Amino acid sequence: MISALILLLAPVCGYAGQDVRGFVRDELAKGLPWDGSSVEIDEIEIPGLEVSVGYDSMRLEMPKRISSPGKVSYALDVSSKGKGTKTVWGTAKIRVYRDAVVALKPLKGRMLIQAEDIKVARVELAEGADAFSSIDELSGMVAERPINAGSVVKKSFVKPQVLVKRGERVTLKVQGEKITIRSSGIAAAEGPMGGTVAVRTRAGKEVLGTVAGPGEIVINF
């Protein structure tokens, strides 16, 4: 047996047509788990509602709590003098929005993404899944595949820019509190900014360091 969630019983006068839809919108909004500024409720349909009747009281019931965006159904009990009480079923569309980074122009694969290539826009929750929410998050990232203008930039579409390539001769900077030694070596793997990479020194020893820039590895001791 499904227990109904009663949102409100409101003894008010003169509800009709758009007023009823406004009532439904307001009461649905009260039971949502998202911030009100990120929600839109539209496509409110109540097929059995007599728009010419003024209703004295209304009660909205939901079969269950709303936990995801999309189309929802509800029962609306309406009462009016001379007509008594009746129950009509209706539907509404709940849209939830979030901030997401979108491409301002087509981005080619392996292209370094610049701040002027992207912007933050308001998109529906489903479209913004796995998306970046700020431009700063894409600093030092390259497109791993072509991204169309206007498309949401998802985390799976990009990767950190490679600053050290496997087999590349790199500058090796070994530094301590009061001393810095510069040398060179061969990177055993590729790495992005801040990544850890193994380097084979000129003496044939393999050491681990941190990528500090293009072709530059730092080892702190």
CATH code at 101?
3.90.1210.10
Using a pLDDT cut of 70, give the percent of the chain over it: 90
**What does the alpha-carbon distance between residue 68 and residue 91 come to, in Å, rounded to a whole number?**
15
Comparing 51 with 108, which gets the higher pLDDT? 108
70, 96, 122 - which closes a domain: 96
Residue ranges making up the domain that contains 48: 5-96
Same domain, 116 and 142: yes
Instruction: Find the CATH number of the domain harbouring 182.
Output: 2.30.30.760
Across the chain, mean pLDDT equals 90
Residue 88 has pLDDT above 50, yes or no: yes
Structure confidence by residue, pLDDT tens digits, 41-80:
999 999 988 776 678 889 999 888 899 999 999 999 988 8
What is the helix (H) or strand (E) element at residue 102, kind and residue range? strand 84-103
- For the ranges 7-21, 45-59, 150-164, 174-188, the one whose mean pLDDT is highest: 150-164
- Shared domain for 31 and 90, answered yes or no, is yes
Q: How far does Cα 89 stand from its chain's mean position?
A: 32
202 shares a domain with 128: no
Backbone angles phi, psi at 196, to 5 degrees: -95, 130
Residue 157 CB-density burial (10 A; 0-12 exposed, 13-18 middle, 19+ buried):
buried
44 and 64 in a single domain? The answer is: yes
pLDDT given at position 57: 87
Domain identity same for 31 and 72: yes
Please tell me the distance from the alpha carbon of residue 219 to that of residue 221, in angstroms, as a whole number: 7
Q: Are 178 and 187 in contact (CB under 8 A)?
A: no
pLDDT of residue 15: 54
Please report the pLDDT score of residue 205 as a whole number: 93
- pLDDT higher than 50, residue 147: yes
The answer to whether residues 85 and 117 belong to one domain is no
Q: Tell me how many degrees the CA angle 11-80-52 measures, rounded to the nearest 5.
A: 115
Domain final position from 96, 127, 150: 96
Q: Are 116 and 104 in contact (CB under 8 A)?
A: yes
Does residue 186 share a domain with residue 155?
no
Q: Are residues 9 and 68 in the same domain?
A: yes
Boundary-marking domain end, from 160, 185, 212: 160
| Number of domains into which the chain is organized | 3
- When mean pLDDT is compared across 51-65, 77-91, 143-157, 161-175, the lowest value belongs to 51-65
In a shared domain, residues 77 and 109: no
Q: Are residues 117 and 79 in the same domain?
A: no
Residues 106 and 138 in one domain: yes
Which residues are within 8 A (CB) of 7 and not within 5 positions of it... i.e. 6 or more apart?
A: 27, 28, 30, 31, 59, 60, 61, 62
Q: Are residues 119 and 50 in the same domain?
A: no
Q: What is the CATH number of the domain that holds 84?
A: 3.10.129
Q: Is pLDDT above 80 for 7? A: no
